[in-house]
Amino acid sequence: MDVTALSSPVRLRNIHKRFGGVHALQDVSLRIEPGQVHAVLGENGAGKSTLIKVLTGVIQPDSGEIVLGDRSMRLHSPRAARDAGITAVPQGVVLVPQLSIGRNVLLGLEHGMARKSVLSAAEREVVEAALMQVGADFDASAPTADLSVPQLRLAQLARALIGTGQVVVLDEPTAALSAADADHLLERLEALRDHGKAIVYVSHRLSEVTRLADVVTVLRNGQVVGRFQRPEFDRATIVELMTKRTEESLAVQDRPSIAAGPVLLEVRDLNSEGRFEDISFNVAGHRILGIAGVQSSGQGQLLAAIAGQDAYDSGTVRVAGSVVGRGSVARAYRAGMALVPSDRRGAGIVGGMSIQRNLALPARSDRSTRRFGIRRLRSEARIARGYVRDFAVWCRDVHQTAGTLSGGNQQKVSLARALAADPAVLLIDEPTQGVDVGAKAEIRALLRLAASQDRCVVVAASEFEDLIGLADEILVMRAGRIVARLDGHATSYREILHHALP
């Protein structure tokens, strides 16, 4: 690649990408100029992640082209994209804790043989130059495991600058950072822009976008629906473009006819430094509470803390009036709580086990499946077939391995597994993430049914349409705090997003 190409715009022309029947990108065009920050905005499912993967060579488009300088390029891998001058900083911190930070920065970029434990003089020079560019205050030999998340984020940015990288793609780079650390990172990005780097910036935080971006492109349903130069930025217009849809697509359900029961879950003044603060709410029996927030707003961490997976600093959690000790899954489970995590494949189900075995795992599941500690396989199979029928799990039979099911069916098994324990409080994080429209409707119906059976349900979601018409009340979280309490049967997507965006 020549220097002229690297200092010229990068253009995506008429990009299309399908996944099965889903049109993830439709005729998307983008022009990325050197010395500019180009922000890409859109709600969950708008196509932002797919666009990033196309630009960085992770996936290939079905049609369309990427033009670098005056050459049309086929970026068949992330290495091909890096060789073309396009590097990415992923949303998560993906580093090897056993290695030094310098070795992590160079991992996969070495030439020939490299020592794992020590950087050569030439390698150290390259790493230190990159760390200096991003304003890092740690040495290249520092153990990765000893560094903070903000420091690791700077190291990832430094890695993206090594070599010929002239286009840096960042996906929610400040999601796990405090306000002060986020401000420092934005300062470094401003400096890189001023030195001629082209930056593609994906974020939910409009305050950061309005500070940093020179151009904003808005995606909705895989299409470009708006593009603004800096003088044209208008928060209200951008939010409207992100959320504009027919109101019929978010069918609001009637209020439940069943009367509220006694309070089953009480959370008071819950605090966890860096994750959430001053969280208080009650949930009565027969009721569904929604907790809405854009990604990394703290709602998933809050549910994990309530369920005993994570400790918290202060506050109390009560189930049916009794205090639940903090930081213990066993105590929370005995108190009558069950959590369906967002990572259904990694934590919601045991992928290598059959559906039948997954549903027999809960300690409070039907006692007829065990006698004197010995499994009764016929009883297990009978009960599993009942759950498969009632939850409409699409499978060959109950002996099918759970990990081979579709995403929606895995979520149904995960939910059935939690309900097999007969909890008084059901907590569920991102219940319909990554599942199709039909499965979403079925899961919503199952959650309503669960709430009607003398229990309460708490649903955390970054896809707000999951909550509208389902939840009786919706709490909106932003940066770890509850910023609004809304009527779940009267609110709108736009109202939730207005409160949720920083």
Q: How far apart are CA 285 and CA 34, in angstroms?
A: 57
pLDDT of residue 5: 42
Which residue among 360, 394, 421 closes a domain? Answer: 421
Are residues 197 and 50 both part of a single domain?
A: yes
For residue 128 the two structure tokens come to: 């230190």
Residue 302 pLDDT greater than 60, yes or no: yes
The per-residue pLDDT of the chain, averaged, comes to 83
Contact 291, 299 (CB under 8 A): yes
CATH number at residue 198: 3.40.50.300
Are residues 293 and 430 both part of a single domain?
A: yes
pLDDT of residue 56: 92
pLDDT of residue 25: 94
In the chain, % of residues over pLDDT 70? 86
Which of 50-59, 128-137, 347-356: highest mean pLDDT? 50-59
The model scores a pTM over 0.75: no
Is residue 253 included in any domain, yes or no? Answer: no
Are residues 225 and 190 both part of a single domain?
A: yes
pLDDT of residue 121: 87
Q: What is the DSSP string of 174-230?
A: TTT--HHHHHHHHHHHHHHHHTT-EEEEE-S-HHHHHHH-SEEEEEETTEEEEEEEG
Residue 248 pLDDT greater than 60, yes or no: no
Residue 69: closest CA among 13, 122, 3: 3
Are residues 329 and 431 both part of a single domain?
A: yes
Domain of residue 388 covers: 352-421
Are residues 16 and 143 both part of a single domain?
A: no
Are residues 186 and 321 both part of a single domain?
A: no
Which of 7-11, 141-145, 157-161, 370-374: highest mean pLDDT? 141-145
Are residues 107 and 138 both part of a single domain?
A: yes
Burial class (CB in 10 A: 0-12, 13-18, 19+), 138: middle
pLDDT of residue 225: 93
Beta strands in 276-358 (DSSP E): 276-284, 288-292, 314-319, 322-323, 337-340
Residue 40 pLDDT greater than 90, yes or no: yes
pLDDT digits (tens, 9 = 90+) for 350-390: 778 888 888 877 644 445 555 545 556 677 787 788 878 87
Specify the number of domains making up the chain.
4
Which residue among 133, 163, 193 closes a domain? Answer: 163
Residue 305 pLDDT greater than 70, yes or no: yes
